[in-house]
Amino acid sequence: MADLGVEIPGLSMANPLMLASGIQGGNAAALHRVASSGAGGLVSKSIGPVPREMYPGPVCVEAMDSVILNAMGLPNPGADKFAEVVRGEEFAKPMLVSIFGGDAEGYVEVAEKMADAGASCLELNLSCPHAKPGSRSLIIGQQPELIREVVAAVRAAVDIPIYAKLSPNTTNIVVEAEAALSAGADGLALINTVSAIEVDPFAGRPIIGNLLCGMSGPAIRPIAQRKVAEISLAMLRGELPNVPILAMGGIMTGLDVARFIMLGASAVQIGSALIWDDVDVFQGIADELSSFMEQNGYDDLASMRGIALDSLEGLS
Ligand SMILES: Cc1cc2nc3c(=O)[nH]c(=O)nc-3n(C[C@H](O)[C@H](O)[C@H](O)COP(=O)(O)O)c2cc1C
């Protein structure tokens, strides 16, 4: 049997398959359901300082076969309520708690509440609008100086490992990765959704209630692989420290997981697949990954990690 185990800061997992933030991770019951599946780990819904309602609908649609569009509006129970979940529940799998804040103080407030409640690691969702008045469209994750400010503030406030979740909607993702890592992040998570609009021709306006939305699902998988490759190559060149990458974007099968591991990822996250299927996808994907590794002579994830980068190195 291939060894699928993963040991990275804050996460000791039997396999590299994690739930992605925002899908089924907003309350204890949903998290327990995923924890009892074949998933190796959990990521909570992104938790903010105060409770938030969803944007007006539609908030999530299947726009075509392999495309999910969403603008949920970061609905969440708020830090105090979710701290009770972190404090009171014993999940069968390790959980990365995803947080957001609007500005550095907001992130710190949530980070401290989660750490005090016993969270073992945090994912900073940087694809969140900056709270500065008049700057609704200014996404923190698109501004390296804001990334640095937020990550440094959270780093100074808590001792647990921090993963910075990056947006693909920038010119050169290595710049944002560098900002996060130089400010003290222990690892990276990528990618968040790809910026999108889809018009409903009958309504003569965008289909999603918020008008602007993010795209996920298998159609973004090659984009996500490109972003992971760019970061891994920068690590190989010594431009970024070598830290664990949690990769995501359109993963549906065991072969998809292998693609990201071969580009240097340590583990993966799975989101949109759970919109089409139930939590038993995790076991199916784990079994496929394990058979692929056995058939191709990979004993563990380390023997497969980064092998696709050899052919890309000359490009840098
Ligand atoms: C309905 C929905 C809600 C999401 N909510 C969040 C969220 O709260 N925080 C976050 O960091 N990412 C959120 N995401 C992004 C996913 O975590 C993931 O980065 C993205 O969907 C790509 O992976 P996938 O193609 O497997 O879905 C959401 C995605 C979807 C489809």
- Identify the bridge partners of residue 206 per DSSP, sorted by sequence position: 199
Q: How far apart are CA 228 and CA 175, in angstroms?
A: 13
Q: What is the pLDDT of residues 182-240, one digit of tens each?
A: 999 999 999 999 999 999 999 999 999 999 999 999 999 999 999 999 999 999 999 99
CB of 139 shorter than 6 A to ligand 1: no
Phi then psi dihedrals of residue 212, to 5 deg: -85, 145
Closest C-alpha to 196, from 185, 180, 208: 208
| Residue among 69, 98, 193, 268 whose CB has most ligand 1 atoms within 8 A, to mutate | 193
- Return the CATH number of the domain spanning residue range 6-54+73-195+216-315: 3.20.20.70
Residue nearest to atom 22 of ligand 1 (CA): 249
Tokens at 204, concatenated: 């003569």
CA of 192 to the centre of ligand 1 (A): 6
- 201's CB contacts (< 8 A; 6+ apart) are none
HSE of 293, CA atoms in CB hemisphere, 13 A: 27
What pLDDT score was predicted for residue 315? 76
**Alpha-carbon gap, residue 9 to 20, rounded angstroms:** 17
Sequence ranges of the domains in the chain: 6-54+73-195+216-315
pLDDT value for 129: 80
Nearest to 217 by CA among 261, 301, 258, 277: 277
CA 228 – CA 205 distance, rounded (Å): 34
Which residue in 206, 249, 251 sits closest to 71, CA to CA? 206
Nearest to 303 by CA among 294, 312, 311: 294
Q: What is the pLDDT of residue 134?
A: 58
CA dist., res. 156 & res. 44, Å (int): 22
Query: Is 10 a pocket residue for ligand 1 (Cβ < 6 Å)?
Result: no
Digit-by-digit pLDDT tens for the chain (316 residues) are: 899 999 999 999 999 999 999 998 889 999 999 999 999 999 999 999 999 999 999 999 999 999 999 999 999 999 999 999 999 999 999 999 999 999 999 999 999 999 999 999 999 999 988 876 655 567 999 999 999 999 999 999 999 999 999 999 999 999 999 999 999 999 999 999 999 999 999 999 999 999 999 999 999 999 999 999 999 999 999 999 999 999 999 999 999 999 999 999 999 999 999 999 999 999 999 999 999 999 999 999 999 999 999 999 887 5
218 CB less than 6 Å from ligand 1?
no
**Three-class secondary structure assignment of the chain:** CCECCEEECCEEECCCEEECCCCCCCCHHHHHHHHCCCCCEEECCCECCCCECCCCCCCEEEEECCEEEECCCCCECCHHHHHHHHHHCCCCCCEEEEECCCCHHHHHHHHHHHHHHCCCCEEEECCCECCCCCCCCCEHHHCHHHHHHHHHHHHHHCCCCEEEECCCCCCCHHHHHHHHHHCCCCEEEECCCEEECCEECCCCEECCCCCCEEEECHHHHHHHHHHHHHHHHHHHCCCCCCCCEEEECCCCCHHHHHHHHHCCCCEEEECCHHHHCCCCHHHHHHHHHHHHHHHCCCCEHHHHCCHHHCCCHHHC
Q: What length does the chain have?
A: 316
The rounded distance, in Å, linking the Cα atoms of 150 and 207 is 33
User: How much is the pLDDT for 135?
Assistant: 57
Name residue, tokens 């073992």.
120
Structure tokens at 6: 């993963």
Give the Cα separation of 185 and 276 in Å (integer): 33
Asked if residue 62 lies in contact with residue 95, where contact means CB atoms within 8 angstroms, the answer is no
Cα–ligand 1 centroid distance for 246 (angstroms):
13
Q: Is 251 in the pocket of ligand 1 (CB under 6 A)?
A: yes
The pLDDT, as a whole number, for residue 137 is 65
Q: At what angle do helices 221-236 and 173-182 cross, to 10 degrees?
A: 60
Q: Are 160 and 146 in contact (CB under 8 A)?
A: no
